[in-house]
Amino acid sequence: MEQEIACQSRSGAVTLRAESIPFSDFPGQSRLFIDYQRDPISLRKYYPQAVESQSDVAALVPSVLANHKADRNILADALSEINIKFGAGHKTLRNIESLRSPDTVAVVTGQQAGLFSGPLYTIYKAMSAIRQAEKLREQGISAVPVFWVATEDHDFEEVSKTYVVDRNGSLYESKTEPSHCYENLPVGFIKLDATIKMGIADLIAALSPTEFTSEVRQLIEDSWRPDEYFGDAFGKLLTHLLGDYGLIILCPLHPKLKQLAAPVYVKAIRRSAEIVDALRTRSDELVKDGYTAQVLVGEDYFPLFWQAENDTRNALKRTESGTYRKKDGSREFTLDELAEVAEKEPGRFSPSVVLRSVVQDYILPTVCYFGGAAEIAYFAQSGEVYRLLDRTPTLILHRQSFTFVESKHGKTLAKYGLDLPQLFKGFDELLPEIVEKYLNTDSARVFAEVEESINAQLNRLDQDLSNIDTTLVENLAKRRRKIIYHIGALRNKFHNVQVRKDAVIRQQIEGVFTALLPHRHLQERAINITYLLDRFGLNFIDWIYNAVDLDDRSHRVIRL
């Protein structure tokens, strides 16, 4: 059933139409995620704080407030410094001040610092947190939205590129490779250089020129500048896009936040062997219950990285003698030495994927976290780390998930009887159906009649030969397969020729795949927000806000 959403644009009122599609209709979704979306309460073994509905989140607030021990003034001071640097407005700064109060909770989400904000789901995560904080405030609870930028991550290749649909309807890759973006350097320590100007120019040139293009260009250029740190550029752009909603940006590299995290680091170091054992046991439990282990933890695993003098992030591995050695073998520590460093110089460490959420929820009074499908799966395992560090596992909720369908693509889908789940079959598999149902039904019928006739005559021959010699029947079976194969190959050529004869039709269908299913994944996993801002203006951010329905656990297809 479609839902109508009223929005505003420069040209007046706009009505969006939304429909929901269960994630189970899409291939490649993990069973753990699907089960959690369907019935979170049934998985409380792995998610102790799971709630039945969004309105139940408020019930967790008293426990969160009672268990939050970090110094709120140090937290607020750090967040003020971070967000003022990013150009935050009064709504964000007012929310930061609210965090000084012992009755304020945080609705948290986070993501790596992607180029030009990365894929669309980054925006959807932030907007999910914004709307949940608003919902809690409506219930009389002081709540603020916080976006944790994963600037400690060191996989720059993953965040260095993003995609838009270009003026030709093809997928355009925008990429930046500043100098010194070498292996193991956290994204937050990578500095943009002059090549970013060329990257922005190429991106804008790739987009179809609209009345909004110059505005979009200015928006990007104001944040992504030479000599700006990559993580700071991301934070500034996110602030420009979502600051009016009071979103607080958190960069965990800030020294004051590192100091707040020190007690967790020390405790995780002291109990690292127990953490490894518990994670390995939890992996076995997940597998036993029919799920997949999320983080493959070896016996030599250590839950923190070492930050070297040259700012590189280095894995630590447990040796057979019980010491801990940098992966390159250049330094070795005892457990006591690591704990002492963590207490005095917490900036020397950054948490691994299984510890990051615990650190986050120690620093912040987190009432819930909005993540993607993979993060939900990780939480099933990292919940053991919370337990061992005497923390209550945080409630995790799935972020809002959208595919925005422009009218031209909506018309193509309707014309050929397609929907989003069907596109996962791929262009080549859908092509025969499109040709035979919509482009050339006459030739398709002839092919079907010929195949039927050939099979009928071969059946007659098979019956006759079976009375003569079974070896002849076997020989006929082999030749039948070849005949059918050649008819099928000819049919495939017919499909391709038929589509090539109408370049417009092929372009329409390929355009749908590019815009809605880039790289055979949902739109939100590749396309950058700049494409939609260029098409519809900065009002599009408000459209996303209006499209959010926290009670809907499905994927939402929004027709523009």
What integer pLDDT is reported at residue 61 of this predicted model?
A: 98
Q: Going by C-beta distance under 8 Å and a sequence separation of 6 or more, which residues neighbour residue 470?
A: none
Tracing tokens 């709120």 back to the chain, one arrives at 72
Report the amino acid identity of residue 273.
Answer: A
Contact 332, 324 (CB under 8 A): yes
Between 3-17, 72-86, 88-102, 307-321, the lowest mean confidence (pLDDT) is in 3-17
E-strand ranges in 372-428 read 396-398, 402-405
pLDDT interval class at 452 (50, 70, 90): confident
When pLDDT is averaged across residues 435-443 and rounded to a whole number, the result is: 64
pLDDT above 70 covers a percentage of the chain that reads 94
Task: Choose among 356, 142, 422, 108: nearest CA to 248.
Answer: 108
Contact 551, 251 (CB under 8 A): no
- Nearest 5 degrees, angle CA 201-CA 125-CA 154? 65
What integer pLDDT is reported at residue 442 of this predicted model?
A: 61
Tracing tokens 């996110």 back to the chain, one arrives at 238
Judged against a pLDDT cut of 90, whether residue 7 lies above it is answered with no
Q: Any idea where the domains of the chain sit in the sequence?
A: 3-147+234-257+359-405+524-559, 425-516
What integer pLDDT is reported at residue 231 of this predicted model?
A: 97
What integer pLDDT is reported at residue 29 of this predicted model?
A: 94
Q: Going by C-beta distance under 8 Å and a sequence separation of 6 or more, which residues neighbour residue 290?
A: 31
pLDDT in tens, 262-295: 999 999 999 999 999 999 999 999 999 999 887 7
pLDDT interval class at 445 (50, 70, 90): low
240-279: buried (b, 16+ CB within 10 Å) or exposed (e) per residue? bbbbebbbbbbbbbbebbbbbbbbbbbbbbbbbeebbebb
Beta bridge partners of 100: none
Which two tokens mark 241? 């896009």
pLDDT interval class at 502 (50, 70, 90): low
Report the amino acid identity of residue 128.
Answer: S
Q: Using alpha carbons, list the distances in angstroms from residue 208 to 10, 161, 170, 398, 503.
A: 19, 19, 11, 33, 20
pLDDT in tens, 411-430: 999 988 999 999 999 988 88
pLDDT interval class at 28 (50, 70, 90): very high
Task: Choose among 372, 383, 387: nearest CA to 150.
Answer: 372
149-172: buried (b, 16+ CB within 10 Å) or exposed (e) per residue? bbbbbbebeebbbbbbbbeebebb
Task: Choose among 88, 130, 112: nearest CA to 544.
Answer: 130
pLDDT interval class at 485 (50, 70, 90): confident
Task: Choose among 346, 402, 413: nearest CA to 70.
Answer: 346
Contact 107, 250 (CB under 8 A): no
What integer pLDDT is reported at residue 436 of this predicted model?
A: 67
Report the amino acid identity of residue 348.
Answer: R
When pLDDT is averaged across residues 399-415 and rounded to a whole number, the result is: 96
Contact 380, 386 (CB under 8 A): no
Q: Give just the sign of the alpha carbon dihedral 439, 445, 446, 448.
A: positive
Which two tokens mark 160? 């260095």
40-69: buried (b, 16+ CB within 10 Å) or exposed (e) per residue? beebeebbebbbeebeebbebbeebbeebe
Judged against a pLDDT cut of 80, whether residue 337 lies above it is answered with yes
Q: Going by C-beta distance under 8 Å and a sequence separation of 6 or more, which residues neighbour residue 49?
A: 60, 392, 393, 394, 395
Return d(Cα 386, Cα 109) in angstroms, integer.
18
When pLDDT is averaged across residues 539-557 and rounded to a whole number, the result is: 96
Return d(Cα 337, Cα 342) in angstroms, integer.
9
What integer pLDDT is reported at residue 440 of this predicted model?
A: 62
What integer pLDDT is reported at residue 501 of this predicted model?
A: 65
Tracing tokens 């700012």 back to the chain, one arrives at 311
Judged against a pLDDT cut of 90, whether residue 329 lies above it is answered with no
When pLDDT is averaged across residues 43-68 and rounded to a whole number, the result is: 96
**Model pTM?**
0.91
pLDDT interval class at 495 (50, 70, 90): low
* DSSP H/E element including 488: helix 470-500
Q: Using alpha carbons, list the distances in angstroms from residue 100 to 96, 104, 105, 142, 226.
A: 7, 8, 10, 11, 35
pLDDT in tens, 185-225: 999 999 999 999 999 999 999 999 999 999 999 999 999 99
Judged against a pLDDT cut of 80, whether residue 466 lies above it is answered with no
Which two tokens mark 308? 């070297």
Return d(Cα 304, Cα 475) in angstroms, integer.
66
Give 505 or 112, the one with higher predicted confidence.
112
111 φ/ψ angles, rounded to the nearest 5 degrees: -170, 160
When pLDDT is averaged across residues 165-177 and rounded to a whole number, the result is: 96
Judged against a pLDDT cut of 90, whether residue 480 lies above it is answered with no
